[in-house]
Amino acid sequence: MAKLILNHLSKTFHLGGTAAVRDLSLTVREGGFLALLGPSGCGKTTVLRMIAGFEQPTDGSILLGERVLADASEMVPPEHRNMAMVFQSYALWPHMSVAENVGYPLKVRGVSSAKRQAKVLEALSAVRLEAYADRRPADLSGGQRQRVALARCLVTEPDVVLLDEPLANLDRHLRQEMEETFREFHARSGATMIYVTHDQAEAMALATDVAVMSEGRLLQMATPEDLYARPEGRLVGSLVGQGAILTLASPPGAQRQLDWAALKALYEERGMTTAEVLVRPQDVEVSADGLPATVSSALFEGERYALRLTLADGQMLRAFSRSPAKIGDQVSVVIHSGWRL
């Protein structure tokens, strides 16, 4: 296995049209799990299709180790890339049994019947479906069909697994269950995985790295922890996690992580130069000794209340509270931490 490298990748579908992907460069580490995150139309599925070999780059190149898979002049066909893809629609043959669906890629490759059967049973065991080998896809639940699609990937021992919003058609309970299946699948297979999603909770829960895209461009790539704590720019900060962005007087020097003392001083200062500061709701505490605020909305979430607060200057904050609150309540808040964008 080797690193997957996207080198200044661009894709334009029509001459003179807007580029779907623009000058995108990133490296997916060997055995890593990369999530491509962004709103619909940002170009993430186009990137996935270029990696798979379904689209040819207009510019730039795709490399697996030192092997060039595609550039503007030539490309390796999909069937010669040793990659597997899981689609949102599962793409299972309805007239075949589960075992036949899983074993079909091996049959196409001319693998003997005995060896094929052994590999199919191993793959079905990995996704806990060995008891369903003789059933048809129509007899399975959505989550089980998704497991069949994963087993079909596992059976070919691919270098790279590509997943195009595979959980979009599942309900919340099944999605959580399948997230655990994907983690197990990644650990067991050791394959490099690239996962396209517009759901930031999925990306943060599954991936070792997250690449945030917008309008065909890569905005930031980092671990989920770094992306959440230290986003680059307003768009990344708003796409990843809940939060509010305050416009405050600009902090001195290059200071980016701000504590309560610094935030309070910047809020009370009225300087000409301003900065945008991201504040996460878990860093906002309703406290007697803080900034005055009014509760503008309160949503009970079971274990806590999610509050929207309006500060005296009209700016908004989000906060969590274990105590009930009503719209119009006057409170004081302390902001323990903020990140200058």
Q: In the prediction, which pLDDT does 136 show?
A: 94
Tell me the whole-structure pTM to 2 decimals. 0.84
CA-to-CA separations, 146 to 105, 116, 137, 170, 172, in angstroms, rounded: 17, 21, 10, 9, 14
Q: What is the mean pLDDT of each run of 10 residues along the chain (341 residues)?
A: 90 86 95 93 94 96 94 93 84 92 90 91 86 93 85 86 82 77 81 90 91 96 94 89 91 87 91 89 92 95 93 96 92 95 91
CA–CA separation, 270 and 338 (whole Å) = 18
For 251, counting Cβ atoms within 10 Å of its Cβ (0-12 exposed, 13-18 middle, 19+ buried), the class is: buried
Q: In the prediction, which pLDDT does 1 show?
A: 61
Q: Could you tell me the two tokens for 180?
A: 């655990």
Q: In the prediction, which pLDDT does 186 show?
A: 85
Q: What are phi and psi of 166, to 5 degrees?
A: -70, -15
Residue type, 317: L
Domains 4-236 and 242-340 share a fold: no
Q: In the prediction, which pLDDT does 259 show?
A: 95
CA–CA separation, 183 and 53 (whole Å) = 25
Q: What are phi and psi of 75, to 5 degrees?
A: -155, 150
- Give CATH superfamily name and number for 4-236: P-loop containing nucleotide triphosphate hydrolases (3.40.50.300)
Q: In CATH, what number does 242-340 get? A: 2.40.50.140
Angle at 153 between CA 240 and CA 165, to 5 degrees: 30
CA–CA separation, 78 and 219 (whole Å) = 28
Q: Where are the domains of the chain?
A: 4-236, 242-340
